[in-house]
Amino acid sequence: MSTSTTATADAGRPRSVALVGPYGSGKSTLFDALLGLAGAAPRRGAEPRGHAMGTELRLGHCSFLGDSWAILDCPGSVEFAFETEAALAAVDLAVVVCEPAEAKALTVAPILRTLEERSIPHLVFVNRIDTLAGRVRDTLGALQAHSRRKLLLRQVPIREGGNVTGYVDVISERAYRYRPGQPSELIQIPAHVQAREREAHDSLLETLADHDDALLEKILEDIAPTTAEIFELLHKDQASDAVVEVLLGAAERLHGVRRLWKALRHDTPHAAETAARRGIAPDGEALAQVFKTVHAGHTGKLSYARVWRGPLRDGSVLNGERLGGIYRMPGGEPARSQDAQPGELVALGRLEAAATGALLSTAAGAPDAGDLRFPAAPEPVYALAITTQDRKDDVKLSGALQKLASDDPTLHVAHDPETGETVLHGQGEMHLQATVERLARNYGLKVTTARPQVPFKETIRRGVHQHARLKRQTGGHGQFADVKIDIAPRGRGEGFLFIDRIVGGSVPRQYIPAVGEAAEEATRKGPFGYPVVDVAVTLVDGTFHSVDSSDMAFRSATRMAMTEGLAKAEPFLLEPVDHVTLSVPNAFTARAQRLLSGRRGQILGYAERADWPGWDDVEALVPQSELHDLIIELRSQTMGLGSYRRRFDHLAEARGRVVAA
């Protein structure tokens, strides 16, 4: 089947594209421009808060030259990178938006890596071409260093007086001049770009010939392929993720946007091809996957989903819940529809039980869902303790947090049994701030946030012998117990130990368990108020009274002995130390090491990150109290690229500023 018949058969069928790339490259501007040219400009002021900050995914529907499209504007901020990962699970193609600057190519590397790993067809739109300072081929070269797929330059810029005024299309070999607010105008190829254009044209043909013997033969025989032939080969290679075409433009001025639309129309795989790539059989019960969950005022909960098999009909039962609305977003506003076709991205109403990532089906059991694995959420790197401003809201808070965590897989909620705090774990300050705002907006909950407490511990430096006697006369019979204990330090990590050395019944057998329990209980809060670890308590002697002694009396006496004894045993603080692995592009390795040493880190070494060429892992032991805002400093020093993982390693004596604090 030739490409042109596929295109005809699929004409009008819905396709979807995600705009991805670094923060500030112009994705949102391009989103507006694409929708604008398709006559569906998002209404100004209609956007919920957060878009300006690049923290929210936007979905827009439009139709261009008779085809229907869903476009996703993905957040650029690293804290919301998972929204992009999730969006990529839903679309037919990704447009990587970047800047024409060699120095910024590194910031494009992570997304290229993700796209390659997941075999998602993509093209590159070098935006802000009006700001081009160096040469496009240098930007391309720098990007190529981070792309395993061959990048194919589709346009050569025409520069006049330092400004980019148009481009030559490398396939058709026609030149165009940008015109403000109008389609570009066809012009003669300027003499000064001819050589460069030929070079780009030949290089494009060579790359295509790598995957096509017929083209290779033609080139060897010096026969020029037709433009139609080149387009068809490019479509095939692009749709199978063998090559990545590179287009140029300036979204803000609408330059190159119409050209991009045409490339999308020509080269975006159709829904059936994407379904085949994900191993989804075309026939069967309706199937959709949620890639994003929002709560919007009057529509309530909306689950953004891709329809993989369909049609999906409003009112049908998905995973046991009745679907309460299917919405498209022309101009960014929800418009209700009766059904949705395979390949569509739609918002589904009132599926209260559906979590982000969920597979939704009309099938009774587990649906046949091919290879629709949802990407795994990144590990949390930032945490805040939260408390309700009104204690009465505590129960409501835990319910709300549970829902938020099911909407947002990058958010974790944990109750810390040691500090008693409820702690939000997430991707950064903005992410947790957005969560707190959601608590207020969607659940009417006012909360206060604070830096989480570090779970300090205590232990003792020397052994002591302690004697305590309880003697109380209260009316009838009194209370009497007398214990002599040794409290001794143990090795780090050895925990608590109780030893009974009573001989000759100076403390009767039946009271000894009470002494052991009371001694252990007393370690829950030491002289500094933290749990005491790694001590041995030995009951060496005691006395009792045949009437007045009891479990309770021995407990009290032991508690007294422990309180006095621990205070005399030179107690000191222990702080938790984590094993931290910092991952950075190797240009930042030295900086990462300095960052860790500056936080009392003990560098263990660094090595090339496994399967990440050009990246290093730096390992260190770092006190937990130094980790709270590590991610903030790390990102600010590494163009937002650095990240880290941590796990508890050991407890160490807390010195210096921690003790003083």
Give me the residues that bind ligand GDP (CB under 6 A), please. 23-29, 54, 76, 97, 127-128, 130-131, 250-253
Q: E strands of 473-588, at which residues?
A: 479-489, 497-500, 535-543, 571-585
Q: E strands of 249-376, at which residues?
A: 287-296, 300-309, 312-313, 317-318, 321-322, 326-328, 335-337, 339-340, 345-349, 359-361
Closest by CA position to 294, among listed 50, 12, 491, 612: 50
Answer yes or no: are the C-beta atoms of 95 and 125 closer than 8 Å.
yes
Single-letter code of the amino acid located at 458: E
Query: Closest distance between ligand GDP and the C-beta of residue 51, in Å?
Result: 9
28 touches Mg ion by CB under 5 A: yes
Query: Closest distance between ligand GDP and the C-beta of residue 533, in Å?
Result: 48
Closest by CA position to 179, among listed 256, 127, 247: 256
Residue 74: CB atoms within 10 Å: 28
- Give, for 126, the enclosing helix (H) or strand (E): strand 122-126
Question: For residue 13, what are the CA distances in angstroms to 65, 90, 262, 516?
Answer: 12, 16, 16, 75
Query: Closest distance between ligand GDP and the C-beta of residue 286, in Å?
Result: 33
114 binds, among ligand GDP, Mg ion, none (CB under 5 to 8 A by kind): none
Nearest residue (CB) to ligand GDP, 79 versus 393: 79
Query: Closest distance between ligand GDP and the C-beta of residue 339, in Å?
Result: 32
Burial grade of 109 (CB within 10 A; 0-12, 13-18, 19 or more) = buried
Tokens of 444: 């009417």
139 touches Mg ion by CB under 5 A: no
Query: Closest distance between ligand GDP and the C-beta of residue 232, in Å?
Result: 31
Nearest residue (CB) to ligand GDP, 76 versus 342: 76
Query: Closest distance between ligand GDP and the C-beta of residue 73, in Å?
Result: 7
Query: Closest distance between ligand GDP and the C-beta of residue 327, in Å?
Result: 23
The stretch near Mg ion (CB under 5 A) out of 20-28, 312-320, 347-355, 414-422 is 20-28
Closest by CA position to 38, among listed 52, 57, 21, 17: 17
Backbone dihedral region for residue 201 (phi beyond 0: left; psi -120 to 50: alpha; all else: beta): alpha
Query: Closest distance between ligand GDP and the C-beta of residue 247, in Å?
Result: 13
Nearest residue (CB) to ligand GDP, 127 versus 466: 127
Nearest residue (CB) to Mg ion, 54 versus 642: 54
Nearest residue (CB) to Mg ion, 22 versus 54: 54
654 binds, among Mg ion, ligand GDP, none (CB under 5 to 8 A by kind): none
What whole-number distance in Å separates Cα of residue 98 and Cα of residue 96? 6
Query: Closest distance between ligand GDP and the C-beta of residue 37, in Å?
Result: 14
The stretch near Mg ion (CB under 5 A) out of 54-62, 404-412, 551-559, 589-597 is 54-62
Query: Closest distance between ligand GDP and the C-beta of residue 129, in Å?
Result: 7
What whole-number distance in Å separates Cα of residue 571 and Cα of residue 251? 65
What whole-number distance in Å separates Cα of residue 276 and Cα of residue 79? 32
Nearest residue (CB) to ligand GDP, 127 versus 427: 127
Nearest residue (CB) to Mg ion, 270 versus 635: 635
Task: Provide the β-strand partners of residue 480.
Answer: 471
Question: Which positions ≥6 away from 523 have C-beta within 8 Å?
Answer: 496, 531, 532, 533, 535, 562
Nearest residue (CB) to Mg ion, 28 versus 68: 28
Q: Give me Rg for the CA atoms of the chain.
A: 33
26 touches Mg ion by CB under 5 A: no
Nearest residue (CB) to Mg ion, 24 versus 478: 24
107 binds, among Mg ion, ligand GDP, none (CB under 5 to 8 A by kind): none
120 binds, among ligand GDP, Mg ion, none (CB under 5 to 8 A by kind): none
The stretch near Mg ion (CB under 5 A) out of 19-27, 324-332, 465-473, 600-608 is 19-27
Helix (H, G, I), strand (E, B) or coil at 501: coil
250 binds, among Mg ion, ligand GDP, none (CB under 5 to 8 A by kind): ligand GDP
Helix (H, G, I), strand (E, B) or coil at 287: strand
Nearest residue (CB) to ligand GDP, 62 versus 573: 62
> Using the rule CB under 5 A, which residue among 26, 54, 342, 576 binds Mg ion?
54
Q: By the criterion CB under 5 A, which residues form the site for Mg ion? A: 27-28, 54
